[in-house]
Amino acid sequence: MTGKFCQQLVLNLFFLQILTFGASACSGKETNSRKELSGFGQPIQVMFVRHGQTHANKYGITQGLLNSLLTEKGKLQAQKLGQHISNETFTRVYTSNLTRTRQTADIILKNLENASSCGPIIEDLRVREKGLGVLEGMKRTVHKISSPNIKNLARSSAETKKNLQKRVRSFFDEICGLADVEDKSSQRENILVVTHGIWLGQLIKYVKSDKFKLVNFRNPKGYSRNTGVTRMEVYPVSKKLPHHSRIIDFLSIYDVSHL
């Protein structure tokens, strides 16, 4: 066998071992696979959170870019999450420009022990929800019985899938790039991103592309519940991997154990 073939065989066996021995996404326990990952550099940690329940969520109204505020339940959900992760210190905090994500982030940070040490909240249009056009403000039950003309108008007025994918990829690639910064004197990045349900679904689709090697990943069903947590460790780009891709180790996916 050639040296190149042997090297590829070793890599394949390594990732087979990771998939075989990986623990469940929400266990929080160190696994054999995570011990093996120590040779791939120092990862950064990223926590994606869907916003708390809004009035539109409560009454079954399509949101998209509709600026619906949190209900009391939504505020409590964010509070419970903040209390659940109260010992965290986030180096960067991102929200969309929609109020429901900013409200959620504010409440989470308010419940952290080291809130004053967290980075400032940055509004980024790339993490806002998909625009749903004329459907925004309509009851979801109405969509199902709408005439073909209404459905065609909805498709033509909504944000395109291509544009949503572009936003998701641009933002996530930028965040991943922070793992490649070789500054041992700086604090390890721990990033909080408060975003939206459809956006998170598109992120899950993106990470399954050939650009990433996934560890402890399970394919979620449907959309994240309000304040669902998707947490991951993102490793630097590695020359040890085919196509110089990077490893993403999932610590949780759509987790709502804090509720």
Please check whether residue 195 is in contact with residue 51, taking contact to mean a CB–CB distance below 8 angstroms. Answer: yes
Q: Which amino acid is at 66?
A: L
**Rounded CA separation 211/206 (Å):** 9
What lies within 8 Å, CB to CB, of 37 at 6+ separation is 43, 215, 235, 247, 249
| Residue 196 among the catalytic residues | no
Active-site residue among 88, 129, 136, 189? 129
**Rounded CA separation 94/75 (Å):** 18
| Residue 143 among the catalytic residues | no
**Rounded CA separation 242/4 (Å):** 11
Active-site residue among 51, 88, 189, 233? 51
Please check whether residue 254 is in contact with residue 220, taking contact to mean a CB–CB distance below 8 angstroms. Answer: yes
**Rounded CA separation 43/40 (Å):** 8
Q: Which amino acid is at 31?
A: T
**Rounded CA separation 141/118 (Å):** 41
Please check whether residue 12 is in contact with residue 210, taking contact to mean a CB–CB distance below 8 angstroms. Answer: no
**187 phi, psi to nearest 5 deg:** -70, 140
**Residues forming the active site:** 51, 129
